[in-house]
Amino acid sequence: MRIAFSVPHHQEYIRSGTPSEPILAEVAAMGMHRFDVDAVDVVGKELASGLIDGNTRTGLVARLLLIMAYDRALKNLHARERTSIASYSRAVPVRDFLQALVAEDYISDVLGCKPDEAGDPQVSLEEAFDGAFVRFSHFARNGVDNAIDTHAGLAAVARGMAIQCCEGRGSVDIVVPIVLKDEKLKEDVMSTMLIQVVNDRDGRVSPLDITAGSLGVFPRVHNGREEDQRPYIVIAMQLGAMASAKNAWFVGPSRTREVLSVPRIPLPCRPGDLTARSTHRAHPRYYINIEGCSHKVYGVISEADSPRFAGILAAGGLFSEHSRPELEAEVQELKPEWNRNRACYGWTDQPELWSSSKEGERIVQEKIVCGAATAEPWKFPARKNHQVENICET
């Protein structure tokens, strides 16, 4: 059901949308499962129709993957209980959700992930979120002046929704609230899953710099006592874009990570909510970096569907999807596009144009790297007072 929110004075268009309606979302899920609707096919056709802005396809694919993982976890839960699905908005354990989301080869790595910031380094993600659950049947768009804290997360869980942050306005794109304990809903038992969807790293805050403290996720003081050390999860969903090596946030183990500066990025929060990280007790952060968008890294994508997702993203590029990367130079000889290498500019007498094709680009290697393993082997340099400023647009 689409709602007409507003009609401008000139009446040339209508501002409309589909707001959070839990009952409608539940009925829609029932209808989709009853009639076996292929969500991937629907998304592909709608994007091809031109009615959906193509610039939003990356976030759309990420939300689709998360909903598919939630549905699969729900089915697996009922299969274990040998019951039919009575509700498509039932809470599912965090463990089951992550098991459904990632490919089987990486499940043990993800569940065994250790915190890379604060907390007991021996406590795995599976142990930290034992008994925790997520509950969302749809996504709702967050307002510019709304914080992504645990108070908002509590309301979101009650409505069975996850949060879609303002497009391109912050370091976090999706927030999935987490309930840490199976007890009466209250802010004290809330945590969060912060997700950055990466398809173009230029101008974005590194996922490694996303922290609950910098975003004000947990209140500093609540119920008259200092904040506790509730764990949370950060996920970088890198859906397969070619990246410039000098701008890439994630590079091979043999290279170092270079961050020259942190740009001024508007964050989806209220003025005054952001405080310096040094004033907070750090919460244990469990970091998961997923590179690629195929069956190799996502459990909800079949091998047959991998090309369909690549087609929807339309971001793989000629060289990242080429089946024989060792022949990249020969493909460059055909000059499908002009890059700084000898294949394109070898006929000139300007050595500045002869740089290797490998220096500016790299073939996407699909993989999942978790927790402290992301940082320790690569020996990242210490952060130089990278404070993300609170710049809220009004």
DSSP 354-394: ---HHHH------EEEEGGGGTGGGTPPPP---PPP-----
Would you say 360 and 339 are in contact if contact means Cβ atoms under 8 Å apart? yes
The DSSP output letter for 286 is E
Least confident of 207-221, 258-272, 288-302: 258-272
Q: In this model, does residue 280 exceed pLDDT 80?
A: no
Q: pLDDT tens digits, residue range 53-105?
A: 766 888 999 999 999 999 999 999 999 988 887 788 899 999 999 999 999 99
Is pLDDT larger for residue 88 or for residue 208? 88
Length of the chain: 394
Could you tell me what percent of the chain has a pLDDT over 90? 39
| Helix axes of 39-49 and 306-313: crossing angle, nearest 10 degrees | 30
At 244 the pLDDT is 34
At 270 the pLDDT is 40
- The amino acid occupying position 145 is D
d(CA 146, CA 244): 33
At 382 the pLDDT is 37
What's the sign of the alpha-carbon dihedral 82, 88, 94, 97?
positive
At 251 the pLDDT is 31
Q: In this model, does residue 195 exceed pLDDT 90?
A: yes
Q: How far is CA 117 from the centre of its chain?
A: 19
How many CA atoms are closer than 13 Å to the CA of 179, on its beta-carbon side?
A: 22
Strands (E), the chain: 3-6, 15-17, 92-93, 133-134, 138-141, 161-164, 174-179, 190-198, 221-222, 225-226, 232-238, 285-291, 367-370
Q: Is 8 exposed, middle or buried (0-12, 13-18, 19+ CB in 10 A)?
A: exposed
d(CA 193, CA 139): 14
d(CA 373, CA 375): 6
pLDDT band, residue 156 (cuts 50/70/90) = very high
- 46 sits in which H/E element: helix 39-49
Q: In this model, does residue 303 exceed pLDDT 60?
A: yes
Query: What is residue 204's three-state secondary structure?
Result: coil
Q: pLDDT tens digits, residue range 353-394?
A: 877 544 444 455 789 999 755 543 333 333 333 333 333 333
At 377 the pLDDT is 35
Q: In this model, does residue 163 exceed pLDDT 90?
A: yes
Please give the backbone phi and psi of residue 371, each rounded to the nearest 5 degrees, phi first.
55, -145
At 118 the pLDDT is 78
